[in-house]
Amino acid sequence: MNLAAPYSILGEVDAWAGFANFNGRRLIARQRSWRGSRPKLIPDPIEPLAAARCVEFPQIDLREAAAGGIVLQMQSTQLDQLKRMTCVVADTGDFATIKEYEPQDATTNPSLIFKAAQMPEYKHLVEKAIMDAKKLNLGREAMAARIVDQLLILFGLEILKIIPGRVSTETDASLSFDVQGLIDKAHQFIDLYQKNGIPRERILIKIASTWEGTRAAEVLQKEGINCNMTLLFSLPQAIACAKAGARLISPFVGRILDWHKKSTGKEYAPSEDPGVQSVRAIYAYYKKFGYPTEVMGASFRNVGEILELAGCDLLTISPQLLGELKASTAPVEQKLNAKMVAESKLERISLDEEKFRWLLNEDAMATEKTAEGIRNFHADAMKLERFVAARL
């Protein structure tokens, strides 16, 4: 049978008959038994389909369905619903996971690449990075560093074969306070991608949200190199990134929650989560004052945090939480919207280097988590470097 829209037949459920997939959503057919009057066939308003997108059930005739009690019902997963209001990004270096959840973009960092590089299925990428670096006649230490860079690019290239959008590739954490070093590293990454046929528009260069990071981003953005400002924990950091013209920021929701839980000993409901509230404030500030910088919530600890930020420009989500969203069909409500922005009481904050450093210093959580994040990313980069050096 051909249906120009999904239809439901009212009645009592007897047994599940079967299901098919349509556009990534589950289309479920249930057999019903009837008592009393003949059931009615009614349009389902949840997800109307264009006539060109008819659903085929060759074994079912529409009249038989009305007489025998078949219901066709669209059931959108929470992940599908979220994708309709937010750009979903996969926070992983595992290609199989990216293929499974079909995100628009993907993010990587040294920790994720170190984890993926140890998996047998990616051994060939490690070997290729080593082989390419050996052609450059470098010393052992410089060669190991070059292999790490090459690995980041190789993983990025493979990810870009899967996703339609952009991949984020992270600069060395050790360069977090080195403006020229960050600019040079970004140029190196873009050059390596372009040599492999990837335009700069599909790359986001990840830079820590230090003052120096924002200065480097300002230069790079003017050159048409888009930046993803990471390790961001406060509104002053977000404002500095926006004023620099950064394409995207990644406020770390879960790490903000971690700090507050440790500091207060309290548990927080998702709507009261300090990380969620931080992103809501940043989102409202950007939209209220017309900054085009995209907000991408990151580092989630639970699905509740994600759902409280439904409607954010982007959300980068771990495989585990993507799986939980895909397994649920509970309704998702858009929480970040024009009404929320209009109700914001935030006032414009003027910011220069001195004001930025002072406000960051006054925020113990943001100061501690930024420094901790830089140290940890550097430590994982060093683990990755030792991992490849042992294979030289």
The C-alpha atoms of residue 285 and residue 349 are separated, in whole angstroms, by 10
Cα 6 vs. chain centroid, distance in angstroms?
Answer: 31
Q: What would the two tokens of residue 319 be?
A: 């495989």
Report residue 313 CA to chain centroid gap: 10
Catalytic residue of the set 206, 287, 335, 369: 206
228 forms bridges with which residues in the sheet? 206, 248
CA torsion 321-326-330-336 (nearest 10°) is 60
Radius of gyration of the chain (CA): 24
Tokens standing for 32? 């019903």
Backbone phi and psi for residue 14, each to the nearest 5 degrees, phi listed first: -110, -55
Q: Tokens 């052992």: give the residue.
A: 140
Helices (H), the chain: 62-68, 78-83, 95-101, 110-117, 123-134, 140-160, 179-195, 211-222, 235-243, 253-264, 274-288, 303-308, 319-327, 338-342, 353-362, 364-389
Q: Does residue 206 have an active-site annotation?
A: yes
Q: Single out the residue of 249, 235, 266 nearest to residue 360, CA to CA.
A: 235
**Catalytic site residues?**
206
